[in-house]
Amino acid sequence: MGLIEKFETKLRGIFKIPELRERIIFTLLMFLVARVGTYIPAPGVDIDRLAQMTAQSDLLGYINMFSGGAFQRVSIFALGIVPYINSSIVFSLLAVIIPKIEEIQKEGESGRNKITQWTRYLTIVIAIVQGVGVCTWLQSVGLVTTPGVTFFLTTIATLTAGTIFLMWVGEQISIKGIGNGVSLLIFLNVISGAPGAVIQTIQDMRGSKFLIP
């Protein structure tokens, strides 16, 4: 039996387990929701010019990669799951610096739930701060079609709500899906740009003198 046949056999075996099959299907549905959200843009931004700037900037391209292409469209998921990751890192560091937080983490399920709740609250704060930064930058480079207070309030609220929703999606994948929801969302965002990168590489190679016809 070849490698492909072994893989197909194991794959069929996985889907014969009802609970595991349901978890995989649920995870795929959550992936679909996460990807659809990246194509719903926030209003009031010149998307075409932003896409051009993102393509020409390595830094913006890096940010856009981790948002799964949502940043260049300023979609409702433009901030991605990054605020939640930053919040988790902050509490991991605080647990080392502040003994009280470390004690709470060791209290068992109740302690972990308390830390998780605090992480969610800090995620909202970080998302708002990052939303303000994104809005300020967009307006400073002239990408906002209707600048002003209304744009700031609506866009910050939209981006923050998008991050909160992604945080919920990640938690649902961890609970009802195959686990590691946040990590899987990051992986999904990164690989979502792979097809476009491959196509771009092929197009670049066609004009290269090193390409053998």
Contact between 79 and 89 under an 8 Å Cβ cutoff? The reply is no
- Residue ranges of domains in the chain: 21-187
Q: How far apart are CA 5 and CA 13, in angstroms?
A: 12
**C-alpha distances out from residue 171 to 60, 141, 188, Å:** 28, 36, 15
Count, in order, helices (H) and strands (E) of the chain.
10, 0
pLDDT reading at 101 higher than 90: no
Give pLDDT tens digits for 174-183. Answer: 999 998 999 9
Per-residue model confidence (pLDDT) at position 212:
43
Residue 139: pLDDT over 60: yes
Does domain 21-187 bear CATH number 1.10.3370.10?
Answer: yes
Contact 68, 39 (CB under 8 A): no
Most confident option among 1-10, 35-44, 45-54, 81-90: 81-90
| 59 token code pair | 């830094």
Contacts of 177 (CB under 8 A, 6+ apart): 23, 24, 26, 27, 30, 184
